Amino acid sequence: MPATSALATPGTSSAIADSARVPYGTCVVIGLGGLFAGVTGPLLSAFVPLLVQAVIGEWRAAIGAVMAIDNVLLLLLVPWAGAASDRASASGRGRLAIVLAGFALASAGMAIFASPIVAGAAGLIAAMVVLYTGINVQRAPFQALVADLVPSRHRSFATGSVTFQMCVGAIVFLMLGQVLGMRPTFLIAAVTVLAIAAAFALSLREPAVGHSHAAEASFGSLVAAAGAAVRGDIAGMRAIFLASFLLQLTFQTFTTWFSLHGTERFGLRPEDVTIGMIAWAVGGVIGALPAGVVGSRIGRRNAMLLGFALMAACLMALNSVTTLAQAAPLLALASASWTFPTVNAYPLFVEPVPRERRGVLAALFLLCMALGGAIGDPLNGGIFDLAGSYQPLFLLMAGYTALAFVAVLFIPRGSGEAGTGPESQPA
């Protein structure tokens, strides 16, 4: 039944009027989940590898094993937490408690990193387990919570708020790390995460729902959801998974290899190449909120196509520049373009998903993106070995982006757009 038929259904006019108003307050608070990622992620990338090396030494196999703790916990906890949040939502307890528990554990982990016990192997591993457990427990429930709390037509704006605050947090805490050093910055991060948890607890109220059936097992429900996606039971699901995979593959290519590419190509010191990283983060800040607005105005699919097209053009241009000064504005523009698919992919994905399955399918969405990161590093490393240099970096990124553009073309028009999901249809 078309979404417009709801206009003629008695009792729905007030709900439609409510959804017409942008819930700015909710979007700002929900966006703090992005700030959480911006606070934790960059600090871990900047400091944890150095801590592991300092504790373990140059035994690279052992370093790799310790650094794999995050990936192991992700694979174990994301599907479990997604299914657990579905069960909690179905029983009336809500997903928020799981998100808050994740925040609390993450804050404790950040505080442990600021303490002297991380100077030993046992303390360092304990800190990593606590911190990564908190981060991974909240991932899928938080994504499902965004869909639960924000009306369909405003989800792109809400995810824009998440991306905006994530990029701002990354810039601020990377700068704090440079100015204050590791331990003070980790302490500030721990307090910030607790403040985010308090804002969630005080400001967010999950809507009451009647009893519904939720996933009964984490891995079993995840396998069933993956099978449904592969079979194409939901229109456009395979295409959006592929596009999201390629989007993360593109991003991972930049974050992992740009420093090596920049030092080789531009002849700069590693610390000078961070200008390019900052330019990318600034572009994310500039593009995130407009990406949400554009997705609401012209449609999520069209916004993703626009972003991928602009991004591919910027990356091709970056392949030809000769200095970092020329590259910086193009990197910012490429990142601003990157926000268009980043902000609109999840709202498009989650639109046809019924509330009782959002946790499990959000976990599958996150695992698909994680797969892009896991495959990207060895794949790109092999390509750079064949090329004998890091020169093809931006050509590779442009290729992945072009493939993502093609994948989005396979999403049927109208599928996943605002107001087309089951919650938007009259009972």
pLDDT in tens, 169-180: 988 988 888 788
Dihedral over Cα of 225, 427, 351, 236: its sign: positive
Instruction: Name every residue whose Cβ is closer than 8 Å to that of residue 95 and which is 6 or more positions away in sequence.
Output: 85, 88, 89, 141, 142, 144, 145, 148, 206, 359
pLDDT band at 422 (very low <50, low <70, confident <90, very high): confident
**CA–CA dist 190, 342 (Å, integer):** 27
User: What is the pTM (predicted TM-score) of this model?
Assistant: 0.84
The pLDDT-based confidence of 211 (bands split at 50, 70, 90) is low
How many helices, marked H, and strands, marked E, lie in the chain? 15, 0
User: Residue 44: which region, alpha, beta or left (left: phi > 0; alpha: psi -120 to 50)?
Assistant: alpha
Cα 59 to Cα 160: distance, rounded to the nearest angstrom: 41
Q: What is the pLDDT of residues 247-278, one digit of tens each?
A: 999 998 888 788 778 888 888 776 677 788 88
Helices (H), 319-357: 324-350
Burial 94-114 (b: 16+ CB within 10 A, else e): bbbebbbbbbbbbbbbbbbbb
Alpha-carbon distances, residue 93 vs 86, 157, 196, 205, 208 (angstroms) = 10, 27, 21, 11, 9
Task: Report pLDDT for 7.
Answer: 30
Residue 328 has pLDDT above 70, yes or no: yes
Per-residue pLDDT tens digits for 385-399: 888 888 999 999 999
The answer for residues whose C-beta is within 8 angstroms of residue 366's C-beta and 6 or more apart is 78, 139, 140, 143
Contact 402, 226 (CB under 8 A): no
pLDDT score for 4: 34
Within 13 Å, how many C-alpha atoms sit on residue 44's CB side? 22
CB within 8 Å of 70: residues ≥ 6 apart: 44, 128, 132, 135, 136
Note whether 83 and 214 are within 8 A (CB). Answer: yes
Average pLDDT on 87-108 reads 90
Q: 324 falls in which pLDDT band (50, 70, 90)?
A: confident
What integer best gives the mean pLDDT of the chain? 84
More confident residue, 344 or 89: 344
Nearest Cα residue to 328 out of 262, 404, 238: 262
pLDDT greater at residue 120 or residue 332: 332
Which tokens in the block code for residue 407? 């994948």
Dump pLDDT digits (tens) for 66-89. 777 887 888 889 989 998 998 888
